[in-house]
Structure 1
Amino acid sequence: MAGNSDPLTPRAKLAVTAGKAVAAASRAAGRGSGSVIGGRVALKLDPDLLARLAQNLDCVLVSATNGKTTTTRLIAEALRAAGPVVSNALGANMPAGITSALAGGSDAKFGVIEVDEKYLAGVARDTDPKCIALLNLSRDQLDRAAETRMLAENWREGLAGSKAVVVANADDPLVVWAASSSPNVIWVAAGQMWKDDAWSCPSCGGVMQRPGDDWFCGECGFRRPTPSWALSGDHVLDPHGSAWPIHLQLPGRANKANAASSAAVAAVFGVPPQVALERMYQVQAVAGRYDVVQFEGRDLRLLLAKNPAGWLETFSLIDPPPTPVILSVNARGADGTDTSWLWDVDYTRLTGHPICVIGDRKLDLAVRLEVANQQFQVCENVDQAVQMCPPGRIEVIANYTAFQDLRRRVGN
């Protein structure tokens, strides 16, 4: 860590100023937050800008296929107990978006940074993080993301010999294999509901044995490490065996797991579990996720689910039947254009719920629901879908760009 002297060269300052100007122009034109385009311009002017902005910060990087944005937000809240935080809280998680976020935090002590899985090794090189949190790896964006085993390989190579403390999920074999190249790992028993990407051993390809909550490879001996932190019901168990209650406004088991990992990260920075977990209660919604909005006389709860693992977790937290469910799926660039993942989701879990289907790929989803013997109606848009539902609560589950479309339409 450099001292608090100004790390920015004249060129870097120019890059920051230009990036902010471009971002402001983009916002004024109604094209979103402008953070990505602003960051791109800034990095063009100074390719080393991310490293310069990070050198006065104690950084933590958060990467995973599911839960990155929420966990980043929980860690940021926890670390605010120890000093000012700068974070890419809205999920712009590639180098341009990260650079843009850090450029806005001149007085910060901590950088809490969500990182896209494919960029983790590069961002870790640039930011020299104190801590890296690895939550899970599952199939996602099949048309462009590497197969999960290759992503784990990239992490493993990129993190080998890293000085960072790695906080990793002991229940995900792919994450364990990726983190095992690091000299300093803190293992968290955060659970793993979706197991379909880890039936073969990432180390040797042998068949993974899964007795109870344990796992090991019967061929090479690669096995689940002993965790020092654990999620246990509504509590986090710390390395001393103390149980700390989790109080969240966010629903579901997955968010308790995110809180457990976040508490372990906060401890690396000297924030005790009780303080960290109390501060996490402040988080009500994350970039619109879990928000309940009034629309057409109904209460819509907005839930984001981008891949099979995410849909499985989301099904576990919706209200029981006969609560209506609206499903919306797009396949635009940011979603990944391959929708074959729909066949990996167990839609029989929605039995008993009236279902309305919308989005660009509503017919793909309709075929999948037909095969799963679900009762559903295909609708033109969210307005029509909502009108088909009785007054009261509606659970709305959408993938990435479909979720953004919904937020714009229902005023969230």
Structure 2
Amino acid sequence: MAGNQEPLSPRARLAVTAGRAAAAVSRAAGRGSGSVIGGKVALRLDPDLLAQLANHLDVVLVSATNGKTTTTRLIAEALRANGGVVSNALGANMPAGITSALAGGSDARYGVIEVDEKYLDTVARDVTPKAIALLNLSRDQLDRAAETRMLAERWREALSGTKAVVIANADDPLVVWAASSAPNVVWVAAGQEWKDDAWSCPACGGVMQRPGDDWFCGECGFRRPVPSWALSGDEVLDPHGSAWPIKLQLPGRANKANATTSAAVAAAFGVPPQTALERMHSVTAVAGRYDVVGYRGREVRLLLAKNPAGWLETFSLIDAPPAPVILSVNARSADGTDTSWLWDVDYSRLAGHPICVIGDRKLDLAVRLEVAGVDFQVCESAAEAVTACPPGRIEAIANYTAFQDLRRVVGN
């Protein structure tokens, strides 16, 4: 069990103070929360600060391409049944942002930390987690992220010999291959709707066979492990065969899967599934995602989708036509500048919806919609797009920085 935090070294205290000052200056200048710059300053002054801040915590790391921010929030709510939690709830998931988050949680018992998939190995080395939750791996930020098989290899090396219990998605072959090197794995049948990044065997390169919900490699025998937790409709099945109703205000199958993984993580810390799932009901939005905001006489629901897997899951949340849809895509540094992934998304699923296209790369998106045979109009701004839609509900789907742009406009 985690104990009280040992006194920080003088160098660490200086680093924390300097980091908080840098963050305050950033906020005063209107440059955001300041968590990243604050963490960078602190780590520059004391490179070992993250390990010191985490040494008294029972740490859970959450990593994936999609769903890690929401799952982090759900796990944090569940574990609060047992004690205080410190978490990077706004999604600053690289070492600097994680350091800033932990610097504010000296009285917490648990640290529930979202980790960018490229940094899982280094963060796990620093914070010695008690549990690691792995949800999925798929293509993302193609210009600067490693190919998914390479990321799985890094995870596999990092998890080899870990003392953490690894809670992993049995339905994603890349995750299974990565997690299989760990001594203690809890397998969760969380599903995998997007399969285009896992048709070849990560172990040998052979073609994966996918009969029904199962999968296996016909060449080397690598196959889906038997899960001990599973999502079944609107219920979580635990290792004893008991079914627990999922109580979420967040929409969609993907969030039920996130809740299933979160319940398995909570159980590893002694929180019963019923208690964990009841506590998750309090989460209505995650860093603005799923928020419904009133703007110019319309109700705009804000949905984040940053890669093909995310767009596929998000389309499943949208009701049948005629609900209007605003699509916004940027290609800034935080998004990845390569937009070729647009061609992997099946936009024909939006046929029949009135569609408005905005964002820095609205013309790239317009070409993709034209090829898909979907009617749309290009607008110059979010305000123009909202005004072009009739009064009522609007679904707004945007990738990362486009989502932040949209929030600033319609959320004010």
- The reply to whether TM is greater than 0.5 is yes
Aligned to 1:174: 174
Instruction: Write the distance in 2 (CA, Å) between the matches of 1:227 and 1:115.
Output: 24
| Corresponding residue of 2:302 | 302
Aligned to 1:375: 375
Distance 1:4 1:212 in 2: 49
* Alpha-carbon distance in 2 for matches of 1:101, 1:23: 12
Q: Are 1:164 and 2:147 matched, yes or no?
A: no
Alpha-carbon separation, structure 2, partners of 1:279 and 1:252: 18
Offset of residue 2 of structure 1: 7.3
Cα distance in 1 for residues equivalent to 2:90 and 2:124: 20
Contact 1:87 1:113 (C-alpha < 8 Å) held by counterparts: yes
Deviations 1:72-116 (A, max 9, x none): 000000000000000000000000000000000010000000000
Q: Which amino acid aligns with 2:49?
A: L
Shift of 1:196: 0.1
Task: Confirm or deny: 8 A CA contact 1:159 1:182 kept in the other structure.
Answer: yes
Count the aligned residue pairs. Answer: 412
Alignment of 1:96-245 (within 5 A): 96-245=96-245
Q: Secondary structure at the match of 2:318?
A: coil
SS at match of 1:119: helix
Question: Scaled by the length of structure 2, what TM-score is found?
Answer: 0.99
User: Are the aligned partners of 2:3 and 2:57 in contact in 1 as well (CA < 8 Å)?
Assistant: no
Q: Which runs of 5+ in 2 are unaligned?
A: none
Verify the 8 A CA contact 1:64 1:137 in the aligned structure 2: yes
Q: Counterpart of 1:406 in 2: which secondary structure?
A: helix
What amino acid is aligned across from residue 55 of structure 1 in structure 2? Answer: N
3-state secondary structure, aligned to 1:155: helix
| In structure 1, C-alpha distance between the alignment counterparts of 2:404 and 2:386, rounded to whole Å | 17
Deviation at 1:46, TM superposition (A): 0.5
Residue 6 of structure 1: how far off its partner (Å): 2.0
Cross-structure match for 2:329: 329
Report the equivalent of 2:6. 6
- Which amino acid letter does the alignment assign opposite residue 18 of structure 1? A
Q: Give % identity.
A: 85
AA aligned to 2:317 is: L
What code does the residue aligned with 2:202 have?
A: P
Alignment check: 8 A CA contact 2:65 2:136 kept: yes
Q: Quickly say closer, same or farther: Cα 1:189–1:298, change in 2 above 3 A.
A: same
Q: Map 1:329-368; keep pairs closer than 5 Å.
A: 329-368=329-368
3-state SS of the aligned residue for 1:89? coil
Q: Which 10-residue stretch deviates more, 21-30 or 113-122?
A: 21-30
CA distance in 2, matches of 1:367, 1:158: 41
CA drift at 1:320: 1.5
Q: Cα distance, 1:411 vs. partner? A: 2.0
What is the Cα deviation at residue 4 of structure 1? 2.3
- CA RMSD of the aligned region, Å? 0.8
Q: Is the 8 A contact 1:7 1:53 kept in 2?
A: no
> Partners of 2:76 and 2:4 in 1: how far apart?
21
Distance in 2 (CA, whole Å) between partners of 1:159 and 1:100 is: 25
Query: Which deviates more from structure 2 when the two are superposed, residues 22-31 or residues 335-344?
Result: 22-31
Residues 194 and 2 (structure 1 numbering): CA distance in 2 closer, same or farther, change over 3 Å? Answer: closer
Q: Quick check: 1:23–1:33 contact (8 Å CA) kept in 2?
A: yes
Structure 1 unaligned regions, length at least 5: none
TM norm structure 1 = 0.99
Partner of 1:31: 31
Corresponding position of 1:405:
405
Secondary structure at the aligned position of 1:186 is classed as strand
SS of 2:188 mapped into structure 1: strand
Q: Hey, what's the Cα distance between the residues in 2 that align with 1:31 and 1:67? A: 26
**1:7–1:56 contact (8 Å) kept in structure 2:** no
